[in-house]
Structure 1
Amino acid sequence: MSQTDILVSFQGVQKTYDGENLVVKDLNLDIRRGEFLTLLGPSGSGKTTSLMMLAGFETPTRGDIVLEGRSLAKLPPHKRDIGMVFQNYALFPHMSVEENVGFPLSVRGLSRAEQRERVAKALDMVRLDGMAQRHPAQLSGGQQQRVALARALVFEPKLVLMDEPLGALDKQLREHMQIEIKHIHESLGVTVVYVTHDQSEALTMSDRIAVFNDGMIQQIDAPEAVYESPQNSFVAHFIGESNALHGRIERIEGQDCAVRLEDGAEVRARAVNVAGAGSRTSLSFRPEKVHLAPASELYPNALPAQVRETIYHGDHVRIRLAVAGNEEFMVKMRFRADRPIPRAGERLEISFAIADCLALDPLDKPVRALAEAS
């Protein structure tokens, strides 16, 4: 990737509010032109602070942020030519939709005729044509968010920042707006930096995801890579759903390793983030990658399990198992009318491929609790 492909560069950026605790720790991040980059992480991980420093509402304690080769250190927010969309919309209640969307243009001194033309184009893009004279109080939450989006795009910025923009919407509308924003991004080619703590939202919308925790990027990659190939236990358990089993490395075998679990069983896993023989490790399994069947050529690892409960979800069944000391081990099984659903108390075997069992750093913190609290 050449320098001309990079729109924004965080260079050794740190941020502290009290002079002691770093909210953002030595952030180095290049944002590519035209990409949809999501900053994902729990509350307090540094993602929103990073966005606010880029917007100009917070100042880095150390380091620099460069936009198109120009330092933003002394450039106030209104001169950065960056569009912003917030969770609370931040619309002017006394202004009409047309006036709200046109506000950035009037500030920039465009003629009335050009303002009207651009506003009409922006409202058409977010499918709000015909509502120009309404006021925010006359609109639904989804419509207000569309107005905020149109206002952020109307002056054709190179960069748009979005801070939890869909957080106030209900689930169905939120999912609909995710696709709308994705389509608008694709059609305009504008660079978007999007902050959320919602993993499914990040997976749905992004070209790349930067997973934040404890003020640092834990992994930055395409959604598929972050989900399928997490680089540490935090990422594995924060993105989507994952089961954990704990043990020690018996031996390293090329890209794989043998792991002795706490109950004495041995399994083979993909060695992703391990310290070597004798070290502790946490194994990560996606629920959909585990099979309710004995070992086979494709799935050579097998462990005994006992069914704790089954939960019907229409197209699939979630089965909670007790496996190697983990009483919350989840498996997803596609529902088929001709296949019996295991019953609580039933004993069976689970099996899985070596490639679907990731040996990672020891999982000491309850990552799922962090995700749910964020």
Structure 2
Amino acid sequence: MNETLAEAGVETAVTTDASSCFARFVNVQKSYDGIELVVKDFNLDIRKGEFVTLLGPSGSGKTTCLMMMAGFETPTHGEILLKDKPISGLPPHKRGIGMVFQNYALFPHMTVAENLSFPLEVRHLSKAEIKEKVDKALAMVRLEEFGDRRPAQLSGGQQQRVALARALVFEPELVLMDEPLGALDKNLREEMQYEIKRIHASLGVTMIYVTHDQTEALTMSDRIAVFNDGIVQQLASPDELYERPENAFVAYFIGENNRLVGEVSERIGDDCKVRLDSGDTVIAKPVAVSGVGSRTTLSLRPERVSILRDDAAERFDNQFTATVQEVIYLGDHLRTRVSVCGNDDFILKTPNAQGCGEMRPGQRIQVGWSSDDCRALDA
């Protein structure tokens, strides 16, 4: 790294050249049996200092890609490059890559300090250098007082901090993380998300992170590659993925969506009319439709649906009468399930504002949404 661990406490992030390609997957494929491809033509350029997350369901190929970068798996086809040099022939210990696993992988018979010393000892650093780097790494993860403890004497969150410090103590330029927070409870997981994000911003190290948790990906990443069936469905920033999914899989994997199914009946400028199977007509943005007559699935975020009051001046290009099925109080907002446009599980998320709590099951209400928030995707 350009910056040392001593500078981990610096508030400003390391400046990197956004145009520089640091790591690269080129037409990478992977098959374990010689027949079925687990990873299919994977291409990805990762900039120096970037935090990229590989997100997808179990079996989608994301962890296999990480293991190929680490050197624990070999590509069946294609090439992996680090700083423009092919690394597929290099063993893991010669790649200079830090690795953090879900199960921490700490040596139970060693103290915390000894765990951190190990990757430095195998690199034949002097005792003075090792002590200096271990002390800095412990300070970076805020565990200065825990060097003499063994892993079993630490909480799950503390053990994960040690695992992170061990991956960073020898100052690698690339750190790989394979679902590192999966074993933690909700509060610890959220705390560690911000901790990892803080460390990434302080050090400017390049990170590739694997998870199936969309909240983790949205919280921590510069860019997210959404995987399914060995193929990247979309690669984009968190807000781009959430606001502008390119296909139905991405729309329904990232966040919550209401789904309405129908057929494109007309194109109107930048919009299209969709005749739903229920007989209702919705105006939407055509994103992944082949033309008039094609089947489509409409994607609409629950928070983009408004409840229309009788005296409301605002009107939408999509307005319908809905029947309230269920109202769940969630503190800062209400989650309301309604029946509308043939969908009995249509969800609304409304702020806990005055008057919202007056809705009751069986009540008829008016709902509306903008065509800009409704995307016509592949069927």
The aligned counterpart of 1:360 is 377
Cα shift readout 1:125-171 (whole Å, capped 9, x = no counterpart): 00000111110011110000000000000011010000000000000
1:229 match: 244
Distance 1:231 1:254 in 2: 19
Q: After TM superposition, give the deviation of residue 14 of structure 1 in Å.
A: 0.3
Q: Deviations over 1:320-359 (max 9, x none)?
A: 1112221111100111244443111112221001100010
Q: Are 2:321 and 1:310 aligned?
A: no
1:369 maps to none
CA distance in 2, matches of 1:68, 1:298: 54
The residue type equivalent to 1:88 in the other structure is N
In structure 2, C-alpha distance between the alignment counterparts of 1:77 and 1:332, rounded to whole Å = 47
Check whether the contact 2:18–2:48 (CA below 8 A) recurs between aligned residues.
no
SS in 2 for 1:330: strand
Asked if 1 retains the 8 angstrom alpha-carbon contact of 2:225 and 2:236, the reply is yes
CA contact (8 A) 2:113 2:148 kept: yes
Q: 1:275 to 1:296 in 2, by over 3 A?
A: farther
Between 248-257 and 93-102, report the one with greater CA deviation: 248-257
Cα deviation, residue 73, structure 1: 1.6
Query: What's the counterpart of residue 324 of structure 1?
Result: 341
Q: 2:364 aligns with which of 342, 347, 350?
A: 347
| Equivalent-residue separation in structure 2 for 1:4 and 1:246 (angstroms) | 41
Deviation at 1:47, TM superposition (A): 0.4
CA distance in 1, matches of 2:362, 2:314: 28
Q: 1:217 aligns with which of 221, 232, 235?
A: 232
Q: Distance in 2 between matches of 1:20 and 1:3?
A: 38
Measured after TM superposition, the shift of residue 84 of structure 1 is 0.2
- Give the aligned partner of residue 293 of structure 2: 278
CA distance in 1, matches of 2:19, 2:284: 41
- Could you say what secondary structure the match of 2:145 adopts? coil
Cα distance in 1, alignment partners of residues 314 and 360 from structure 2: 27
Out of 262, 267, 280, which is 2:282 matched to?
Answer: 267
Instruction: Quote how far apart the aligned CAs of 1:298 are.
Output: 5.2
Q: Deviations over 1:233-286 (max 9, x none)?
A: 000010010110001001122321111111111111011111100000000010
Note the C-alpha offset of 1:3. Answer: 10
CA shift, 1:19, in A, is 1.4
Q: Which runs of 5+ in 1 are unaligned?
A: 363-374
Task: Note if 1:177 corresponds to 2:192.
Answer: yes
Task: Choose from 128, 139, 150 the match for 2:143.
Answer: 128
Counterpart CA distance in 2 for 1:239 and 1:297 is 29
What amino acid maps onto 1:351 in structure 2?
A: G
Residue in structure 2 matching 1:42, options 57, 62, 85? 57
Alignment-derived partner of residue 8 in structure 2: none
* Cα distance in 1 for residues equivalent to 2:45 and 2:357: 51
Alpha carbons 2:29, 2:38 under 8 Å: kept: yes
How does the TM-score come out when normalised to structure 1? 0.94
Match of 1:161 in 2: 176
Paired residue secondary structure (1:74) = coil
Among 98, 101, 106, the residue aligned to 2:121 = 106
RMSD: 1.5
Counterpart secondary structure, 2:275: strand
Q: Are residue 239 (structure 1) and residue 254 (structure 2) matched?
A: yes
The answer to whether 1:95 aligns with 2:110 is yes
1:292: Cα distance to partner? Answer: 1.2
Are 2:86 and 1:68 aligned? no
More off after superposition, 289-298 vs 302-311: 289-298
> Secondary structure of 1:23's match?
strand
Quote the residue 1:205 is aligned against.
Answer: 220
Q: Which amino acid aligns with 2:294?
A: S
Q: Given residue 336 of structure 1, which amino acid in structure 2 is its aligned partner?
A: A
Q: Relative to 1, partners in 2 of residues 1:298 and 1:32: Cα closer, same or farther, differing over 3 Å?
A: farther
Aligned mates of 2:193, 2:45 — CA distance in 1: 24
Q: Look up the equivalent residue of 2:195 and give its one-letter code.
A: E
Which 10-residue stretch deviates more, 208-217 or 334-343?
Answer: 334-343
Tell me the residue number matched to 2:318.
301
Partners in 2 of 1:339 and 1:89 — Cα distance?
46
- The two structures have a TM-score, normalised by structure 2, of 0.93
| Pairing partner for 1:21 from 25, 32, 36 | 36
Q: Look up the match of 1:189.
A: 204
Structure 2 distance, partners of 1:173, 1:88, is 15
Which amino acid in the other structure matches residue 81 of structure 1?
Answer: G
Equivalent residue pairs, number: 362
Cα drift, residue 297 of structure 1: 5.4
Q: Which amino acid aligns with 2:28?
A: V
- Whole-angstrom CA distance in 2 between matches of 1:159 and 1:311: 44
Equivalent in 137, 141, 144 of residue 159 of structure 2 = 144
Q: Does structure 1 retain, via aligned residues, the 8 Å contact 2:120–2:170?
A: yes
Question: Could you report, residue by residue, the CA deviation over 1:68-91 in whole angstroms, capped at 9, with x for unpaired residues?
Answer: 011012100000000000000000
SS at match of 1:292: strand
